[in-house]
Structure 1
Amino acid sequence: MKDPVEARADESEDLYDVASWEPRSRLDRLAVKTHRGVLSAGRALIVALGLFIMLLILGGGAAALIVENPFILALIVLSVVPAALLALYIYTSDITTDEPASLLAATFVLAILFAGFAAIINTTLSGVFGVAGGGIAAVLPVPGVELLFMMLFYYLVVGPGEEAVKLLAVRLYAYRDERFDSVIDGAVYGAVAGLGFASIENVLYITQNISAPSAVIAQSAADFTASFFQTLDAGSGITAVRGLAGPGHVIYSAFAGYYLGLARFNPDNAGPIVAKGLLIAAFIHGTYNILVGIVPLVVSAFVPIPVFAIFVAFVVVYDGVFFYFLYRKLARYRKTYQRVSDDVDDPADASSELTEFDPDTNP
């Protein structure tokens, strides 16, 4: 869209500071530097705040517990393996160019730091929605109101909040790099952000559910073995649960990241495109959080199957369905890329402009 003056003016007309603008004067260049400085300072402040919050969260006992008992770290690593494998698959699905390790690592770390923002929001608003007891639901004695407010909490707070902070981890650094050069790169970095978020979430869940074994410092082989089995017994259940939950984070944020990549190359509609990706990811995420606590209990009431087995089946089916949709989206991009690349590389389809020495064969 152009100003009426710019639309009607001759190309030779100088419209600087009238209907167009570019940095010319010292003041203009100062304005550019000020704008860039404010943005850089804002990004640095966000990262510093995320680091501060995460240090507070880990300082609450998780870090000390891991240092005291290294076997807990082994459980955490195991819990992250399924999500890591899924993120690796999405990475290998990028048919364009390999993503640099520096951008992948930065996205992973930023997702860990920004997870603290989501933790504060979830904890603060869980009481308001009555999920943690009390809140609005507690003062409304209407049948089903607690379930309603729980659904609202997951759809309006947890889903959008967690997906937004994961997308922020991509947007703040990798997105701004010139090596983010294709739509599918968004899915790759989104998946890595989901992996980072799942990793720190697993750290917190596992450490909160395990108390330090009495034989922490092994004085002998017997103490070492006892500490290992005690940790394994205390944390195997939560490790399995978190291992199943991790791939979901990768899938959700890969969807949101894909649309962030699409927005990068469609700047006129960037806002709605990013909103679409967040809506999809938040809905899938929120629906999972709601159903995972209801479906296994309901099914177990009618079918004589252990609740945990039903939980595993539900997670596999639910994540499998949406992974299939993600796979279709990535496969469509891959096929389209191959087709247009073949068209360009085929000499029969290639054409060049005529020179003054070539005969014009057009009638």
Structure 2
Amino acid sequence: MLLFSVLAAAIAPGIALLAYFYWKDRYDAEPLHVVIKLFLAGVLIVLPVMIIQRGLLLWIGDESPVAFSFITSAGVEEFVKWFVLYHIIYNHTEFDEPYDGIVYATAVSLGFATVENVLYAFTEPVTFGMLLARALLPVSGHALFGVFMGYSLGKAKFSAGRAVKLHLALALLTPLFAHGLYDYLMQTIPSEWLWVMVPFMFLLWLRGIRSVNHANARSPFRWVKREEEIKF
């Protein structure tokens, strides 16, 4: 029973956050089976990410918080997520509005974060309070990094010319910077000063919600829905 409770506590935050961002799609909800496919892709990339990170640790070590945060941790994780999204969903027919990038990117990110949370729960001595703290920090952090990636992917998908490459690059660099900064702060701030992560996470959420609203506002389906409401 305790094993099931710990497992549920480790999985629940990722599922809840994915449901939240899925339901924030105001105009044209994505097929659930495609979202689940991307979530499972996030689950599957955990092993190759761990192998690459292990190789980098052996090569460059972990003495430098900057190198570890922005290369070994955030660099590898965000690049692999970006690579999977670009090759699986970017040219998919269901990617038909800017907000779709956010849904699919958060699905991949939260699949990854959920496995990471489960591994932490069963390899470290944890309490439910610690799992709650992880839900508020690393799990929601991964969700927001996914929002930043998906927002730029959505802009790239519906741009033209040089703007496409610019937004594709931002889809990688923006979450990489936010993730790297998060990891750097977690490594370098003394435990008694960890409260400074609260305003940092607040700023991430503020930026994330703004991205959600801007992406929804650019949906080509919003006019269709308005016309349907007027006719009704």
TM-score when scaled to structure 1? 0.56
1:265 aligned partner: 158
Deviation by residue 1:129-157 (Cα, 9 ceiling, x = unmatched): 331xxxxxxxxxxxxxx4xx221221123
Answer yes or no: is 1:276 the counterpart of 2:158. no
Distance 1:173 1:235 in 2: 37
* C-alpha spacing 1:335/1:182, structure 2 compared with 1 (3 Å): closer
Distance 1:294 1:88 in 2: 33
- How high is the sequence identity, in percent, across the aligned residues? 26
Answer yes or no: is 1:74 the counterpart of 2:74. no
Distance 1:73 1:168 in 2: 33
Q: Which runs of 4+ in 1 moved over 4 A?
A: 336-340
1:24 aligned partner: none
Distance 2:221 2:52 in 1: 45
Residue correspondences, number: 225
8 Å CA contact 1:111–1:165 kept in 2: the answer is no
Question: Which of 196, 209, 213 lines up with 1:327 in the alignment?
Answer: 209
8 Å CA contact 2:65–2:188 kept in 1: the answer is no
8 Å CA contact 1:194–1:254 kept in 2: the answer is no
1:89 aligned partner: 20
Cα-Cα RMSD? 2.6
Three-state SS of the structure 1 residue aligned to 2:27 is coil
Question: Which of 239, 243, 247 lines up with 2:135 in the alignment?
Answer: 243
Q: Please tell me the residue identity of whatever aligns with 1:121.
A: I
Pairing 1:83-232 to 2, within 5 Å after superposition = 83-131=14-62, 146=63, 149-210=64-125
What displacement does 1:191 show? Answer: 0.9
Question: Which of 170, 179, 193 lines up with 1:285 in the alignment?
Answer: 179
Larger Rg over CA atoms: 1
Q: Please tell me the residue identity of whatever aligns with 2:201.
A: D
1:143 aligned partner: none
* C-alpha spacing 1:180/1:155, structure 2 compared with 1 (3 Å): same
Q: Please tell me the residue identity of whatever aligns with 2:69.
A: Y
1:294 aligned partner: 188
Distance 1:243 1:345 in 2: 40
What displacement does 1:260 show? Answer: 1.5
Distance 1:337 1:104 in 2: 18
8 Å CA contact 2:152–2:170 kept in 1: the answer is yes
Q: Please tell me the residue identity of whatever aligns with 2:170.
A: K
Distance 1:336 1:179 in 2: 16
Unaligned runs of 5+ in 1: 1-69, 132-145, 211-233, 301-309, 347-363
* C-alpha spacing 1:328/1:112, structure 2 compared with 1 (3 Å): same
Three-state SS of the structure 2 residue aligned to 1:175 is coil
Unaligned runs of 5+ in 2: none
What displacement does 1:320 show? Answer: 1.8
Distance 1:295 1:338 in 2: 44
What displacement does 1:169 show? Answer: 3.4
